[in-house]
Amino acid sequence: MTGNTTSEPNLLARKRTYKRLMFGVLLGGVGLALLLREVLGYPLISEAVYWLGIVGFFAIGFGTSLTLFDERDRALERRASHLTLNIMAPVLATVASVGRLLPRLTDYALPAEIWPALYGVIAVYAVFGISYTVLRYQA
Protein backbone atom coordinates (compact mmCIF):
# COMPACT_ATOMS: atom_id res chain seq x y z
CA MET A 1 0.00 0.00 0.00
CA THR A 2 1.35 3.36 -0.92
CA GLY A 3 1.47 5.91 1.86
CA ASN A 4 1.69 9.66 1.86
CA THR A 5 4.79 11.35 0.63
CA THR A 6 5.62 14.98 1.02
CA SER A 7 6.27 15.35 -2.72
CA GLU A 8 2.75 14.38 -3.82
CA PRO A 9 1.02 17.74 -3.28
CA ASN A 10 4.04 19.35 -4.95
CA LEU A 11 3.54 17.08 -7.94
CA LEU A 12 -0.07 18.27 -8.30
CA ALA A 13 1.08 21.87 -7.92
CA ARG A 14 3.67 21.36 -10.64
CA LYS A 15 1.03 19.88 -12.95
CA ARG A 16 -1.22 22.86 -12.28
CA THR A 17 1.65 25.24 -13.01
CA TYR A 18 2.45 23.50 -16.30
CA LYS A 19 -1.21 23.61 -17.37
CA ARG A 20 -1.45 27.31 -16.56
CA LEU A 21 1.78 27.89 -18.44
CA MET A 22 0.46 25.98 -21.48
CA PHE A 23 -2.77 27.93 -21.72
CA GLY A 24 -1.02 31.17 -20.76
CA VAL A 25 1.43 30.76 -23.65
CA LEU A 26 -1.37 29.86 -26.06
CA LEU A 27 -3.80 32.61 -25.09
CA GLY A 28 -1.00 35.13 -24.53
CA GLY A 29 0.46 34.36 -27.94
CA VAL A 30 -2.84 34.63 -29.74
CA GLY A 31 -3.81 37.78 -27.83
CA LEU A 32 -0.46 39.45 -28.44
CA ALA A 33 -0.61 38.44 -32.12
CA LEU A 34 -4.04 40.06 -32.41
CA LEU A 35 -2.73 43.22 -30.79
CA LEU A 36 0.31 43.32 -33.08
CA ARG A 37 -1.78 42.83 -36.22
CA GLU A 38 -4.89 44.87 -35.52
CA VAL A 39 -3.60 47.70 -33.33
CA LEU A 40 0.12 48.07 -33.89
CA GLY A 41 0.19 47.07 -37.56
CA TYR A 42 2.90 44.39 -37.57
CA PRO A 43 1.26 41.52 -39.50
CA LEU A 44 4.40 39.43 -40.04
CA ILE A 45 5.62 39.70 -36.45
CA SER A 46 2.04 38.99 -35.38
CA GLU A 47 2.05 35.75 -37.36
CA ALA A 48 5.35 34.69 -35.81
CA VAL A 49 4.03 35.36 -32.30
CA TYR A 50 0.82 33.48 -33.16
CA TRP A 51 2.82 30.39 -34.14
CA LEU A 52 5.10 30.76 -31.13
CA GLY A 53 2.00 30.57 -28.93
CA ILE A 54 0.75 27.43 -30.65
CA VAL A 55 4.13 25.68 -30.78
CA GLY A 56 4.82 26.72 -27.17
CA PHE A 57 1.52 25.20 -26.04
CA PHE A 58 2.36 21.81 -27.54
CA ALA A 59 6.06 22.02 -26.61
CA ILE A 60 5.18 22.38 -22.93
CA GLY A 61 2.55 19.61 -23.15
CA PHE A 62 4.80 17.11 -24.87
CA GLY A 63 8.02 18.31 -23.27
CA THR A 64 7.13 17.49 -19.71
CA SER A 65 7.23 13.99 -18.29
CA LEU A 66 4.23 14.82 -16.11
CA THR A 67 0.75 13.60 -17.07
CA LEU A 68 -1.01 16.94 -17.35
CA PHE A 69 -4.38 15.65 -18.52
CA ASP A 70 -5.86 12.49 -17.08
CA GLU A 71 -8.60 10.11 -18.18
CA ARG A 72 -11.38 12.29 -16.79
CA ASP A 73 -10.10 15.24 -18.84
CA ARG A 74 -10.23 13.03 -21.94
CA ALA A 75 -13.73 11.80 -21.01
CA LEU A 76 -14.88 15.40 -20.61
CA GLU A 77 -13.38 16.27 -24.00
CA ARG A 78 -15.26 13.37 -25.61
CA ARG A 79 -18.54 14.43 -24.00
CA ALA A 80 -18.02 18.07 -24.96
CA SER A 81 -17.23 17.07 -28.57
CA HIS A 82 -20.33 14.89 -28.69
CA LEU A 83 -22.47 17.67 -27.27
CA THR A 84 -21.04 20.20 -29.73
CA LEU A 85 -21.78 17.96 -32.72
CA ASN A 86 -25.30 17.33 -31.42
CA ILE A 87 -25.95 21.04 -30.98
CA MET A 88 -24.49 22.04 -34.34
CA ALA A 89 -26.40 19.42 -36.38
CA PRO A 90 -29.88 20.92 -35.88
CA VAL A 91 -28.45 24.44 -36.18
CA LEU A 92 -26.87 23.51 -39.53
CA ALA A 93 -30.01 21.80 -40.83
CA THR A 94 -32.28 24.67 -39.78
CA VAL A 95 -30.09 27.52 -41.05
CA ALA A 96 -29.46 25.76 -44.38
CA SER A 97 -33.18 25.14 -44.86
CA VAL A 98 -34.07 28.72 -43.93
CA GLY A 99 -31.33 29.96 -46.25
CA ARG A 100 -32.78 28.00 -49.18
CA LEU A 101 -36.43 28.83 -48.51
CA LEU A 102 -36.12 32.49 -47.57
CA PRO A 103 -35.35 33.89 -51.05
CA ARG A 104 -38.08 31.72 -52.64
CA LEU A 105 -40.80 32.68 -50.22
CA THR A 106 -39.89 36.24 -49.29
CA ASP A 107 -37.91 39.23 -50.49
CA TYR A 108 -35.20 38.48 -47.94
CA ALA A 109 -32.13 36.28 -48.05
CA LEU A 110 -29.49 35.27 -45.57
CA PRO A 111 -26.26 37.29 -45.74
CA ALA A 112 -23.89 35.79 -48.31
CA GLU A 113 -21.24 35.30 -45.58
CA ILE A 114 -23.41 32.63 -43.95
CA TRP A 115 -22.89 30.09 -46.73
CA PRO A 116 -19.10 29.68 -46.40
CA ALA A 117 -19.60 29.24 -42.67
CA LEU A 118 -22.23 26.54 -43.32
CA TYR A 119 -19.91 24.75 -45.73
CA GLY A 120 -17.26 24.91 -43.03
CA VAL A 121 -19.61 23.18 -40.59
CA ILE A 122 -20.48 20.59 -43.25
CA ALA A 123 -16.74 19.96 -43.68
CA VAL A 124 -16.46 19.28 -39.94
CA TYR A 125 -19.20 16.64 -40.21
CA ALA A 126 -17.50 15.16 -43.28
CA VAL A 127 -14.26 14.82 -41.30
CA PHE A 128 -16.23 13.32 -38.42
CA GLY A 129 -17.79 10.75 -40.78
CA ILE A 130 -14.40 9.78 -42.21
CA SER A 131 -12.84 9.56 -38.74
CA TYR A 132 -15.74 7.45 -37.47
CA THR A 133 -15.44 5.06 -40.43
CA VAL A 134 -11.68 4.68 -40.02
CA LEU A 135 -11.98 4.10 -36.27
CA ARG A 136 -14.82 1.62 -36.79
CA TYR A 137 -12.67 -0.53 -39.05
CA GLN A 138 -9.74 -0.27 -36.67
CA ALA A 139 -11.73 -1.18 -33.54
**Residues that bind another protein in the complex, under the rule CB under 8 A:** 1-5, 7-9, 11-12, 15, 67, 70-73, 75-76, 79
Neighbour count for residue 64 (Cβ, 10 Å): 14
Q: Given the complex with another protein, which of 67 and 133 has the nearer CB atom?
A: 67
Nearer to another protein, 4 or 106 (CB): 4
Min dist. Cβ of residue 69 to another protein (A)? 8
Closer residue to another protein, CB minimum distance, 75 or 98 = 75
Q: For 109, what's the count of Cα atoms within 13 Å in the CB-facing half-sphere?
A: 8
Q: Which residues contact 43 (CB under 8 A, 6 or more apart)?
A: 36, 37
In sequence order, what are the residues at sequence separation of 6 or more whose Cβ sits closer than 8 angstroms to the Cβ of residue 125? 85, 89, 92
Rounded least distance, CB 63 to another protein, Å? 18
- DSSP for 6-51? THHHHHHHHHHHHHHHHHHHHHHHHHHHHIIIIIS--HHHHHHHHH
Shortest Å, Cβ 4 to another protein: 5
Nearer to another protein, 11 or 123 (CB): 11
Q: CB 23 → another protein: shortest distance, Å?
A: 15
